[in-house]
Structure 1
Amino acid sequence: MLLTLREAYNQFKIESPSGEYIPLHSHTSKEQGLFLQNILEEIRPQRSLEVGLAYGISTLFILEKHREFENKTKSHIVIEPFSWGGVAEHNIEKEGLAEYVEIRYQRSDEVLPRLYFDNIRIQFAYIDTTKVFDTVLQDFYFIDKILDVGGVVVLDDCNGKWPGVQRVARFINVLPHYKLMAAHNKSNLTLKKKLANLAISKFIKLIPFKDKIHPTSDFESDIDLGLDYNCLVFQKVSDDERKWDWDKPF
């Protein structure tokens, strides 16, 4: 693990461009960072993309692997509309990883369509940004267009804590050209909550004509679908060959 990451997790602080150490927040956990590196090891992408930067913790995990893989310069694209005081760039440079990253300080709806029209191809994408459903769905829409078959999309902040992100996860899960590949950090529910969820799930399944009453809803629970995790990895298994009238509840 990079020295900057070890220090950040030990002190819960990170160095700013002024040399001052500021409190760490809104960051990827050490366990999830190592989980991302395991996925990167399996996929071994030549080019990757990340939506959301903050203090650059997850970015450092990803860039460490790009250097290990001896990838080309600018092999990791990061999209972030805010500078966060330049902390991420400072620590990326300090670790000697600046050559592997291209940070675009713009909104994702400004960058992703341009990447698509410029025929950029990626094999790994990590989405850790706003929790607004339509924004995250739009991000996935364009990422899907530039993601090679065999590549992966990783969604952070799932498991129902952020319903907007979870709805996107449920949508990806029903797409015929994606499969759930891996998951990290299972929801830690109390026994009481687990029993309540089980009872509700069984009750809903017994409701007659529910598909007719609400045809746009999939009545399977996140637990039944294996989506009750904070971080979900979906692999693109084929090109999108859906017909114009394809639809499936999620």
Structure 2
Amino acid sequence: MQNKNVLNICLPDNFELFTDKVIERGWVGDTGKNRREIAGGISKMEAHILATIITQNNVKKSVETGVANGISTLAITQAIALNQGRHYGIDPVQFQEHQGVALTLLEQHQLLENFTLCHGPTHIEAPKLLDKNERFELVFIDGMHTFDYKFIDSFYGDLLLDVGGFLVFHDLLLPSVKKLFRFIKAQNKYRVILTPELQPSLYRKGRFTAAAFIKRKPYWYFWLNGFCNLLVLQKISNTEPPWNFFNNF
């Protein structure tokens, strides 16, 4: 029996992620226009994890914070398009800092019609989505990495996310994300989905490294254990706590 708390990477037959080749070539954009080397972003494995969540759960609506070079945007939008869905990206600097490379990347792969850019910061754009009663089944957070912005992304992401949906963080080894995870864990609204490791004994390794994560072990501790750089949470409750609720984190 498959453990529902463990994600097994398995994409549909004859479905190949465009991100594999894009990451291999190492650049995005158009020559003479906005071409640039890929700096940062998700890995091939992480792209496959995001696509697996979408295809296995028939996700039709998703939103991410921090579009940047568009690698995660491409992976999510391609998988969403398979379900005839739509992906939203919140990014205040897509044109100023990134010269629109994410949109170029989507256009090159005929996926632009399945994507909506919300050009602005989360605290401006997310309330607009709430006003329109937009609901999502996947929220991917990879914007500003300071704790305050991560908290804002998470707060609005939770408001936009349906019960049963997935809240996914990139860069889980950053102190801001680790601190935020402890806050979310204290609210009892999400369960952790273990992601595949690069070595065997997934469940044992997941428990071991998750315990290390919570106890604030140093970075090398995680790398030695092959811990994936994505934190995948599934929303299990939408219940609002009492007005004076607080759990220490």
- What is the letter of the counterpart of residue 36 of structure 1? L
Runs of at least 5 residues in structure 1 that lack an aligned partner in the other structure: 187-196, 202-218
SS across alignment from 2:230: strand
Kept in 2, the 8 Å contact 1:49–1:78? The answer is: yes
Could you tell me which runs of 5 or more consecutive residues in structure 2 were left unpaired when the two chains were aligned. 1-15, 199-208, 218-226
Two-structure CA RMSD over aligned residues (Å): 2.4
- 8 Å Cα contact 1:16-1:85 kept in structure 2: no
Asked if 1:221 is matched to 2:210, the reply is no
Q: Which amino acid aligns with 1:178?
A: Y
Number of matched pairs = 210
TM-score with structure 1 setting the length = 0.77
Post-superposition Cα deviations, 1:217-248, rounded to whole Å, max 9, x if no partner, equal xx95157xxxx652111111121231112211
Give the direction of change, closer, same or farther, for the CA distance of 1:46–1:8 in structure 2 (3 Å limit). Answer: closer
Query: Could you report, residue by residue, the CA deviation over 1:98-144 in whole angstroms, capped at 9, with x for unpaired residues?
Result: 11100112111110122122211111000001111111111111111
Seen in structure 2, the aligned counterparts of structure 1 residues 70 and 247 have a Cα distance that, compared at 3 Å, is same
1:192-228 Cα deviation digits (max 9, x unpaired): xxxxx9xxx9xxxxxxxxxxxxxxxxx95157xxxx6
1:31-180 matches, cutoff 5 A:
31-71=45-85, 75-82=86-93, 83=95, 84-159=98-173, 162-180=174-192
Question: Aligned residues: percent identity?
Answer: 27
In the alignment, the residues of structure 1 paired with residue 214 and residue 22 of structure 2 have an alpha-carbon distance, to the nearest angstrom, of 40
Task: Quote the offset at 1:155 in angstroms.
Answer: 0.6
Residue 182 of structure 1, CA deviation: 2.9
Q: CA deviation at 1:145?
A: 1.1
When residues 174 and 11 of structure 1 are mapped into structure 2, their CA distance, relative to the original with a 3 A threshold, is same
CA shift digits 1:160-185 (9 cap, x unpaired): xx211211112112222211123366
Q: Distance in 2 between matches of 1:11 and 1:181?
A: 31
